[in-house]
Amino acid sequence: MRTTHLEDNFQQKIDAEERIEPKDWMPETYRKTLIRQISQHAHSEIVGMLPEGNWITRAPTLRRKAALLAKVQDEAGHGLYLYCAAETLGVSRDTLLDELHTGKAKYSSIFNYPTIAWADMGAIGWLVDGAAIMNQVPLCRASYGPYARAMVRICKEESFHQRQGFEIMLTLSKGTPTQKAMAQDALNRWWWPSLMMFGPNDAESQHTEQSVRWKIKRFTNDELRQKFVDATVPQAEILGITIPDPDLKWNEERGHYDFGAINWDEFWQVVKGNGPCNQERMEARIKAHEDGEWVREAAMAYANKQSQKLTEQVA
């Protein structure tokens, strides 16, 4: 078959909502786009462990400590599923990690902001996991099978994280004036970075059109951002805290909330590496990887010795 035929078949399959599996033919750009998208997501999961892991030793109660440990462990699990999904496209986890460590690959910029208070565990669960769900639920129907299946598992856990984060915020908002102020402060700091999580406006976004055609993206950045705002405003009202946007108001005509302009200069600066924690996050990941090298080597050496022993026994 000529490539054009293959490509036509491929697109027909996608249009018919059939899944593409690892052994199926796929255009090289589809493969590359998927590797970029899945690995970026995987990297976000493991870098995202750092700002929350930061509070494990300081959680205010044993119940909260256990829940936070479980949450961060879930995120590590998400990273693992996603690296495995990426590996089905013929790229190794080592290669992907190298790309992260050298700065070639990106991860979600939100994790370059610091977690300076306990309330941030609430705000992250509520807003950041909340935004992740908006992004990810449509991906449960992504055209690439292993990715879609990974997303199904992940989304279940993310919605649990979102509820848990909201519950932390709710406890604070029902607490003393100091606690309520903590909740408000966390919302003030995490609101705008959460909106930025959906990426540049559609007019500025390079990848959207082709990705929508390939069904590895089902909604545009702006559509998802709007959904998130619409879902989150009533939740902030329940909490009795104020979203830090004077332009936020219900638009009867559109049936959506209008919201103020996002500071894209800040967004691009953080993407470029100039956020408050970019360097620390990368240093922590690289250090973990380098410190772990002797462990990985030893595990390999031991496994080799064992299989050698086995062959000798057989012979």
Partner 1 sequence: MNLEFESQDPLVQYCLLLADNVLILGQRLGEWCGHGPTLEQDIALTNFALDFVGQSRLYYQYAAEVLGNPHSEDSLAFLRDVPAYNNIQLVEQSNRDFAQTIIRQFLFDSWHYYFLEQLQHSGDERLSAIAAKSIKEVAYHLRFSSEWTIRLGDGTEESHKKMQAALNRLWVFSQESLNPADYESELISKGIAVDLAQISAKVAQKRKAIFEEATLNMPELIPFFGNGKKGLHTEHLGFILTELQYMQRAYPGLQW
Where on the chain is the footprint of partner 1 (CB under 8 A)?
46, 49-50, 53, 56-66, 69-70, 72-73, 76-77, 79-80, 83, 118, 168, 171-172, 175-176, 178-179, 284, 287-288, 291-299, 301-302, 305
- What would the x/- binding string for Fe ion be over residues 153 to 172, using CB under 5 A? -----x--x-----------
Cβ proximity to Fe ion, 80 vs 284, nearer residue: 80
DSSP letter for 127, please.
I
Residue 64 lies near Fe ion (rule: CB under 5 A): no
Give min distance, CB of 276 to partner 1, in A. 18
How many CB atoms lie under 10 A from the CB of residue 175? 13
Among candidates 140, 133, 106, 109, which has minimal Cα distance to 36? Answer: 106
Query: Phi, psi (5° rounding) for residue 249?
Result: -160, 155
Residue from the set 52, 75, 99, 120 that interacts with Fe ion by CB under 5 A: 75
- What would the x/- binding string for Fe ion be over residues 105 to 144, using CB under 5 A? ------------------------x---------------
Among candidates 9, 13, 7, which has minimal Cα distance to 29? Answer: 7
Residue 41 lies near Fe ion (rule: CB under 5 A): no
Q: Measured between alpha carbons, how far is 29 from 115 in angstroms, rounded to an integer?
A: 37
Supply 159's token pair: 């919605």
Cβ proximity to partner 1, 54 vs 205, nearer residue: 54
Q: Measured between alpha carbons, how far is 227 from 256 in angstroms, rounded to an integer?
A: 8
Q: Cα torsion for 266, 271, 277, 282, to the nearest 10°?
A: -170
Give min distance, CB of 131 to Fe ion, in A. 10
CA–CA distances in Å: residue 91 to residues 33, 34, 36, 97, 140: 13, 11, 11, 11, 22
Cβ proximity to partner 1, 149 vs 281, nearer residue: 281
Residue 52 lies near Fe ion (rule: CB under 5 A): no
Among candidates 165, 71, 74, which has minimal Cα distance to 120? Answer: 165
| Residue 118 · residue 184 · CB < 8 Å | no
Residue 43 lies near Fe ion (rule: CB under 5 A): no
Give min distance, CB of 267 to Fe ion, in A. 21
Q: Measured between alpha carbons, how far is 57 from 28 in angstroms, rounded to an integer?
A: 45
Residue 87 lies near Fe ion (rule: CB under 5 A): no
With CB under 5 to 8 Å by kind, the binding choice for 238 among Fe ion, partner 1, none is: none
Give min distance, CB of 118 to partner 1, in A. 6
Kindly list the residues in this chain that would bind Fe ion in the complex (CB under 5 A). 45, 75, 78, 129, 158, 161
